[in-house]
Amino acid sequence: MKVYKIAVIPGDGIGPEVIEEGVKVLKKVAALDKRFQFEFTYFPWGCEFYLENGKMMDDNGMEILQEFDAIYLGAVGYPGVPDHVSLWDLLLRIRKGFDQYVNIRPITLLKGAPCPLKDVKREDIDMLVIRENSEGEYAGAGDWLFKGKPEEVVLQTGVFSRKGTERIIRYAYETARHMNKSLTSISKGNALNYSMVFWDEIFEEVGKDYPDVKTYSYLVDAAAMFMVKQPERFEVVVTSNLFGDILTDLGAALAGGLGLAAGANINPEKIYPSMFEPIHGSAPDIAGKNIANPLAAIWSASQILDFFGYQDLGEKVLKAVEQVMVEKVALTPDMEGTASTSEVGDRVLFLLSEIL
């Protein structure tokens, strides 16, 4: 039987609490389906590890992770360790080191999920945002000159390579073609007169290979407005690192909140492992209370199943998540329930055993 090796990095705060429920779900699916098994290996990396060892992960951490089929991550970052340290030394190190240049964030309003918009039909909010995840505005390029002096200057440079821009846009076209959906590019060519003009040109250029894919192109400010006013405009969306970061938080708010939003960091060539995570942080304000919503972590577990080619199972896990929200038997306080994190996880397992 096929055995998938998963590296689990529960991380900080509510990370371990929600990841535990996701692992429970994956074990249950494997047990019920019987086509494959999972083997989970846990790594204690994160802020506590940093306070003891002066680093966010072991020096040979990347070599160790390289051997796995996927990485399942909770959240990293906690008061006491500066956020730029925890982010760059763990999360971004993995995303960049493993060339996970595609960030996939499904923004789908499931039945029963809270939505802040009035008069919106469930089927209106169903988009797949593909965010460039390796360069752009988050390339970390720039300088800090004359620090602390009156003539102080900082430069934060966006880096858009032809290779980097082409491959994310091509991935998005492939996805849209495969799903038989339209593709919307979001950029800002009027103000960012180098990077985004370049982006728009590549979007058109690559599009010549996909005459069957219907395309739209929006400026990011207009796109933010349309996402709220007419979310049905968007199906598959491709955008840069910074714009994608911001728009997917907006999307998360539209589709049920942070407790429900999942994201996958993909290395499409499968040369390196891909990483799956809920997009929320470590939520220090509710950590340790067993009230964090595990549904985002469970949704990202379903993305692991999709990634291994078991879309049928991924869909069923999502069905169970939807069912939990519809029946409202076990929901955490952020969804106006009174259940604990583990009770929600248990309920998903129960529903899965009925669905599968």
Sole window of 104-112, 184-192, 290-298, 300-308 interacting with ligand NAI (rule: CB under 6 A): 290-298
Q: Which does 241 bind (CB under 5 to 8 A by kind): Mg ion, ligand NAI, none?
A: none
Sole window of 20-28, 147-155, 234-242, 284-292 interacting with ligand NAI (rule: CB under 6 A): 284-292
Q: How far is the CB of 293 from ligand NAI (least distance, A)?
A: 3
Sole window of 117-125, 167-175, 292-300, 343-351 interacting with ligand NAI (rule: CB under 6 A): 292-300
Nearer to Mg ion, 133 or 215 (CB): 133
- Token representation of residue 313: 């199972």
Check residue 54 and report its DSSP letter.
Answer: S
- The answer to whether 76 contacts ligand NAI (rule: CB under 6 A) is yes
**Which of 130, 196, 292, 320 touches ligand NAI (CB under 6 A)?**
292
The most distant pair of C-alpha atoms in the chain lies apart, rounded to whole Å, by 67
Q: Which does 128 bind (CB under 5 to 8 A by kind): ligand NAI, Mg ion, none?
A: none
Q: How far is the CB of 243 from ligand NAI (least distance, A)?
A: 17
Q: Where are the beta strands (DSSP E) in the chain?
A: 2-11, 36-42, 70-75, 102-108, 126-132, 136-145, 153-159, 183-187, 215-219, 236-239, 262-266, 274-278
Residues 106 and 278: their CA atoms lie apart, in Å, by 11
Nearer to Mg ion, 245 or 334 (CB): 245
Assign 3-class secondary structure to 229-257. Answer: HCHHHCCEEEECHHHHHHHHHHHHHHCCC
Residues 233 and 105: their CA atoms lie apart, in Å, by 17
Q: Which of residues 6-35 bind ligand NAI (CB under 6 A)?
A: 14, 18
In this structure, the dihedral spanned by the alpha carbons of residues 123, 353, 11 and 283, taken in order and rounded to 10 degrees, is 50
- The answer to whether 46 contacts ligand NAI (rule: CB under 6 A) is no
- The answer to whether 75 contacts ligand NAI (rule: CB under 6 A) is yes
Q: How far is the CB of 3 from Mg ion (least distance, A)?
A: 33
Q: Which does 259 bind (CB under 5 to 8 A by kind): ligand NAI, Mg ion, none?
A: ligand NAI
Burial (Cβ within 10 Å: 0-12, 13-18, ≥19) of residue 309: exposed
- The answer to whether 183 contacts ligand NAI (rule: CB under 6 A) is no
Q: How far is the CB of 267 from ligand NAI (least distance, A)?
A: 17
Closest listed residue to residue 320, CA positions, set 335, 298, 342: 298
Nearer to ligand NAI, 30 or 283 (CB): 283
**Which of 245, 277, 334, 343 touches Mg ion (CB under 5 A)?**
245
Question: Cβ(176)–Cβ(236) under 8 Å?
Answer: yes
- The answer to whether 135 contacts Mg ion (rule: CB under 5 A) is no
- The answer to whether 137 contacts Mg ion (rule: CB under 5 A) is no
- The answer to whether 132 contacts Mg ion (rule: CB under 5 A) is no
Check residue 259 and report its DSSP letter.
Answer: G
Check residue 111 and report its DSSP letter.
Answer: T
Q: What are the angstrom distances between the C-alpha of 199 and each of 159, 234, 298?
A: 11, 19, 34
Question: Considering CB under 6 A, how many residues would be counted as binding ligand NAI?
Answer: 22
Residues 43 and 56: their CA atoms lie apart, in Å, by 11
Length of the chain: 356
Q: Which does 245 bind (CB under 5 to 8 A by kind): Mg ion, ligand NAI, none?
A: Mg ion
Sole window of 36-44, 70-78, 104-112, 175-183 interacting with ligand NAI (rule: CB under 6 A): 70-78
- The answer to whether 258 contacts ligand NAI (rule: CB under 6 A) is yes
Other CB atoms within 10 A of residue 203 CB: 23
Strand partners, 132: 102
Site residues (vs ligand NAI, CB under 6 A): 14, 18, 75-78, 83, 91, 258-259, 277, 280-286, 292-293, 296, 334
Site residues (vs Mg ion, CB under 5 A): 245
